[in-house]
Amino acid sequence: MRWWETRKIADVRSVAGDAIVGESRKDGIFEITLSSWRLIDAVLYTMNDMSHAIYRGVSQSDHRLEPSIFRRYAFRRMQTIDARNDYILNCFRHFKEAVRGRRGPLAKPVEFYNDYELWSLGRHFGVKNTMLDWSHSPYVSLFFAFSNWSEEGTRALFCLKRNVIERFQNAGTRPDDIEKSQATRDGRDTDSDMMADLTLSPFPGRSQLAFYKPFSDDNFRMIHQQGLFTVSKSPHTVEEWVAHNYGEIRRHLLDARNVETEAKRVRRLSAEIESGWILLRINVRTDEADRRDILKKLNRMNVNYATLFPDIEGASMYANMQGDIPHY
């Protein structure tokens, strides 16, 4: 078997052999460690049909899927959920006031946007909040995993099955409620009662992880990066949310398969159940030579700072990378 013929992880094992140096599967989280970045394509080929999957690349091996505001010292030292919510709302109000008049002469008034839309704009420019950046493209995410030099030898690519989670969250919900919820997630604030709730609840329940894709065209970086966000609505990591809810998600998949009559959908649900995960973490052991090689490969695919940051800053970072990496 050749790497471009892989359809499931078992196929990757037959191709990779000893290059898979670690593997674990528990509570809906699958973690695999590769000794070579050249095997990433074989793993990604197994996800060709996962059009609703989203990806996130990180350069630190100890990284957890935790919003940046949760890592702030002031947030961590607060003991009550009410205190943490006050802190989050104050951060949002400060950003909303500060961003006025700073989005260009053609920008719509701040009041035009729902709270998630402004919150996501701030996150993409460095505001610490309850959102995490993801992309629909695994290769865009790989670029961010490898773009920064680091002495750390392991980088990671995360994959999250958004469609499985949203079907689970929408189970038992009325169609009109789903339509309203989807409109809010896609940035279309069409009704005053659809304003996003930025506050946290204390437990990682079914609805305490949300997805939000900005709708406005103000943020060209987000558009070029095929970006979207997860929104944490409890003070927990995405890993903790998955582990807490996976048992119920699996039961939901089993129930859906039991009542399904279409053979094609039965096969898909069976494959989903058998996979045993909704969050995949691919760890890749690399050195500086590997980092340069994968960045050169991504550049040949037109994935680079110039395309992902379509502004002067992106052009500058692209020029710097050309100077740092021979034959870039």
- Each residue of 222-259: pLDDT tens digit? 888 989 999 999 999 999 999 999 999 999 999 999 99
Q: Tell me whether residue 140 is in a domain.
A: yes
Q: Phi-psi region for residue 305, left (φ > 0), alpha (ψ -120 to 50) or beta?
A: alpha
Q: Tell me whether residue 105 is in a domain.
A: yes
Q: What is the pLDDT of residue 188?
A: 46
Q: Tell me whether residue 279 is in a domain.
A: yes
The yes-or-no verdict on residue 183 having pLDDT over 60 is no
Q: What is the pLDDT of residue 9?
A: 82
Q: What is the pLDDT of residue 179?
A: 46
Segment 51-75 shows an average pLDDT of 93
Q: Tell me whether residue 254 is in a domain.
A: yes
The yes-or-no verdict on residue 125 having pLDDT over 90 is no
258 is in which domain, residue-wise?
Answer: 3-286
- Count of domains in the chain? 1
Q: Tell me whether residue 323 is in a domain.
A: no
Q: Tell me whether residue 182 is in a domain.
A: yes
Q: Tell me whether residue 300 is in a domain.
A: no
Share of the chain above pLDDT 90, in %: 63
The yes-or-no verdict on residue 181 having pLDDT over 80 is no
Structure tokens at 179: 């339509």
Q: What is the pLDDT of residue 224?
A: 87
**Residue 56 and residue 306 in contact, taking contact as beta carbons nearer than 8 Å:** no
Share of the chain above pLDDT 70, in %: 90
Q: Measured between alpha carbons, how far is 314 from 248 in angstroms, rounded to an integer?
A: 43
Q: Tell me whether residue 42 is in a domain.
A: yes
Q: Phi-psi region for residue 313, left (φ > 0), alpha (ψ -120 to 50) or beta?
A: alpha
Q: Measured between alpha carbons, how far is 227 from 209 in angstroms, rounded to an integer?
A: 17
Q: What is the pLDDT of residue 121?
A: 86
Q: Please give the helix or strand (H or E) that residue 229 lies within, else none.
A: strand 227-232
Which pLDDT band, with edges at 50, 70 and 90, does 189 fall under?
Answer: very low
Structure tokens at 313: 């800053």
Give me the half-sphere count of Cα atoms (radius 13 Å) on the Cβ side of residue 36. Answer: 10
CA distances from 113 to 179, 192, 209, 214, 307 (A): 19, 11, 21, 10, 26
Give the start-end residues of each E strand in 66-176. Answer: 131-135, 154-161
Model-wide pTM > 0.85: yes
Q: Measured between alpha carbons, how far is 204 from 63 in angstroms, rounded to an integer?
A: 20
Which pLDDT band, with edges at 50, 70 and 90, does 60 fall under?
Answer: confident
Q: Measured between alpha carbons, how far is 112 from 108 in angstroms, rounded to an integer?
A: 6
Q: Which of 217, 263, 230 is nearest to 158 (CA)?
A: 230
Q: Which of 319, 238, 277, 270 is nearest to 64 (CA)?
A: 238
Segment 261-289 shows an average pLDDT of 93
Segment 193-197 shows an average pLDDT of 51
